[in-house]
Amino acid sequence: MIIIIALAITFLNMLFQAKRHIVIKKDIAVSGLSKVFDGFQIFFISDIHRRKVSEKLINKLGGKPDVVVIGGDLTETGVPFSRVDENVKRLSGVGPVIFIWGNHDLYVDKDKLKQIFTKYQVKILDNQVDVVTRDNDYLNIVGINDVTNNLDRLEAALEGRKEGATVLLSHNPDIKYKLHEHHNIPLVISGHTHGGQIRLFGWGLREKGGIKKKSFGTLIISNGYGTTWHPLRLGAPPDTLLLTLRSSNSEI
């Protein structure tokens, strides 16, 4: 009986954890960032899958970021497009939206998905760069296609950069294996792993989210907002990221 009660409590806790609305707020020092971009905010939300974006989450932002990034796996097979539409609508109310492809996004009706993006003026970065300009200085936001299916074209994506700092958006953090110092990419933001989603004694099937120092710079992995299969989490709570870029050597 004690074991059954313990399992029931654990199961209920896993359900509760999966439904949390967490915004991790961090200042991130970015090498080469112009002072005019000091304070530039990126709201990063990935791996929404079947989940509905809640007003509770939006209210936790406490303001309007400069850009909202949907970091892939916005949806998956079987998710009603009405739900996707509502999620994108809510996120577009926060700020201008950038989308990058995740592996699950590739298996739904892409034409219907793109219609939603057009409706809410979402910018798709498909191995492309979006150059943000302020006072003749530049911030390069580069988005690559899904690494899982070998659709990423790193070198092509970097061709459109202008002189200034670069932030690379990649759904799958495995892009790290293709990055080197000469690429001059100080910050990479990704999702995909769900932090393992269920971790036992610190161990999970996939990489835990967090801020990681690499030879090329900083890699940030979000645990993602939603889940695949069953809405359960343990030891890897869902998260979104509100990142404030800093031009100085701020503490991370």
Domain range enclosing 93:
2-246
- Domain assignment of residue 17, yes or no: yes
**Higher-pLDDT residue of 159, 199:** 159
Q: How many domains does the chain have?
A: 1
Please state the pTM of the whole predicted model: 0.94
Beta bridge partners of 240: 23
For 190-209, write each residue's pLDDT tens digit: 999 998 888 787 766 788 88
pLDDT at res. 107: 95
pLDDT at res. 207: 86
- Domain assignment of residue 252, yes or no: no
For 112-130, write each residue's pLDDT tens digit: 999 999 999 999 999 999 9
pLDDT at res. 201: 77
- Domain assignment of residue 54, yes or no: yes
- Domain assignment of residue 57, yes or no: yes
- Domain assignment of residue 144, yes or no: yes
- Domain assignment of residue 251, yes or no: no
Contact by Cβ (8 Å): 199, 208:
yes
Residues making up the chain, counted from first to last? 252
Residue 249 has pLDDT above 70, yes or no: no
Residue 81 has pLDDT above 70, yes or no: yes
User: Which CATH number do you get for residue 115?
Assistant: 3.60.21.10
Residue 246 has pLDDT above 50, yes or no: yes
The confidence band for 10, taking pLDDT boundaries of 50, 70 and 90, is confident
